[in-house]
Amino acid sequence: MKKSNGKTFKERSFGWIDERYDVTGLIEFAKKKSVPKFRETIWYYFGGIALLLFVIQVLSGILLLMYYQGTEDAAYESVKFISTKVSFGWLIRSVHSWSANLMVLAIFIHMFSVYFLKSFRKPRELTWYTGFILLALAMGFGFSGYLLPWNELAFFATKVGTDITRQIPVIGDSLLILLRGGEDVTGATLSRFFGFHVAVLPGLFTVFLVLHLMFIQRQGMAEPEDWRKLPESEKKQIPFFPNFTLRELLIWLIVINILAILAVFFPWELGNKADPFAPAPVGIRPEWYFMFMFQVLKLLPANILFLSGEFVGIAAFGIGIFLWFIVPFWDKRTPESRRNKAITYVGIFVVMFIIIFTILGFILD
């Protein structure tokens, strides 16, 4: 490299940018940033996996948008066109569908690992709240995206899914109209879901994702509870850059490989076009992450005391989800960061509950 004033071109270029944007400050920050190294470090990677899958979702979603048409007449045909005629369209669609499911799975694992490691405690309450909202938004992405191919299964699953909102007191009916764009699932529902899926949800998701990442960057990675009594010298740390980043990259590559294998060997089926006048087909079911709720509502009796079974179920889920959301608030030991086995037992119960009813949903189908 040609030298001028004793500096290489690379050094001069860096100096030019550094002078204007204080890159050295950023590098210093990255150098200082570290991640606790202990038995449970593996769980720290799932946030990153979810982020990777979200990026894949955005990129593959943009590509799908180039051909997808969100109308009742053209939606199914356009997805079919993407799958059969567009170069690599089948791969993009399959990757989009698979990564959506893997992303929800990664977020679930990330959430439960945070929960069991009690990382939601002070001072990370807001990180928990924003993370929870991101999970809800991801599920909203899944619910709205499920209808977009306008196939038989999605049509009826959306009908059943949106129908549940009727059970919400006072605002239930209005909410149903808002979601469906009318009394029934029609082309208006499709347009609405398309709008949610590509505009409303991505906008909200980006805001909460930025906040979530910002909180993490400001506070650093949570340390395990056991470390509170350890002297600083015994707390093992690995530098975030490059060690943790390279490890994350390695896991990302493995996830990409898994995603490619799933997309090629198990291409996402399209099924038959939705026909609002046809009888509901056998085996209507929601996406797997809604299955436990769907199955519980199915198993509940028609009436519990003087209330409808479905209402009781939805109310119970509503309360349960709300309590889960505000766990940093009701975990009394949060401020003291003391051990709380009750929290762990509640977590185990919730995980078992979700796993059992999800399996039952698929078995009893």
Partner 1 sequence: MLKILNKIVLLFLSAAFSLVVFAQSSADECLNCHQELDDELLMPAKNYVNDIHYKKNITCAGCHGGDATTDDDEISMSKEKGFIGVPDKTIRYEVCINCHSDEQTMKRYGSNLQVDQYKKLKNSVHFQPSYNNQGPIADCITCHSVHNIKSVNDPLSRVYPTKVVELCGSCHSSAKFMKNYTSSLPVDQVIKYKTSKHGMLNSKGDPNVAECASCHGNHDIYSINDTRSNVYATNIPKVCAKCHSDSKLMSKYGLPTDQYESWVSSVHGVALLEKDDISAPSCNDCHGNHGAVPPGVESISKVCGSCHVLNMELFEKSPHKKAFDENDFPECETCHNNHKIRYVTDDMVGTQESAVCMDCHSNEKDDKGYFVAGRMKLLIDSLKYEDKETKEILKDATQKGMDVSDAEFLLKDVRQVLIQSRTTIHTFNLDIFKESINPGFETISKVKEEGIAAVDDYYFRRLGLGISTIIVTFLVIGLYFKIRKLEKKS
List residues binding partner 1 (CB under 8 A): 80, 83-84, 90-91, 238-239, 242-243, 246-247, 249-250, 253-254, 256-257, 260-261, 264-265, 267, 270
Cβ at position 297, least distance to partner 1 in Å: 34
Cβ at position 35, least distance to partner 1 in Å: 13
Closer Cβ to partner 1, 66 or 261, answer by number: 261
Closer Cβ to partner 1, 48 or 131, answer by number: 48
The Cα 95–Cα 262 span in angstroms is: 8
In terms of Cα–Cα distance, which of 92, 89, 56 is closest to 255? 56
| DSSP symbols for 280-320 | PPTT----GGGHHHHHHHHHS-SEETTEEHHHHHHHHHHHH
Structure tokens at 291: 């299955």
Closer Cβ to partner 1, 4 or 257, answer by number: 257
The Cα 269–Cα 78 span in angstroms is: 14
Cβ at position 257, least distance to partner 1 in Å: 5
Per the listing, tokens 């946030």 go with 47
Per the listing, tokens 């944007």 go with 21
Cβ at position 317, least distance to partner 1 in Å: 37
Closer Cβ to partner 1, 109 or 256, answer by number: 256
Closer Cβ to partner 1, 251 or 346, answer by number: 251
Closer Cβ to partner 1, 83 or 189, answer by number: 83
Distance of CA 178 to the CA centre of its chain: 23
Cβ at position 26, least distance to partner 1 in Å: 21
Question: Terminus-to-terminus CA distance in the chain, angstroms?
Answer: 68
Structure tokens at 81: 């066109």
Alpha helix segments (H runs only) across the chain: 9-21, 23-32, 45-65, 75-84, 89-116, 125-147, 152-163, 172-180, 187-195, 201-219, 245-265, 291-299, 309-325, 327-330, 341-363
Structure tokens at 109: 């694992």
Q: Residue 346: CB partners within 8 Å, gap ≥ 6?
A: none
Closer Cβ to partner 1, 80 or 298, answer by number: 80
Cβ at position 265, least distance to partner 1 in Å: 8
Closer Cβ to partner 1, 97 or 189, answer by number: 97
Cβ at position 85, least distance to partner 1 in Å: 8
In terms of Cα–Cα distance, which of 139, 48, 157, 66 is closest to 100? 139
Cβ at position 86, least distance to partner 1 in Å: 12
Cβ at position 260, least distance to partner 1 in Å: 6
Closer Cβ to partner 1, 260 or 315, answer by number: 260
| DSSP symbols for 198-260 | IIIHHHHHHHHHHHHHHHHHHH-SPPPGGGGGS-GGG--EEEIIIIIHHHHHHHHHHHHHHHH
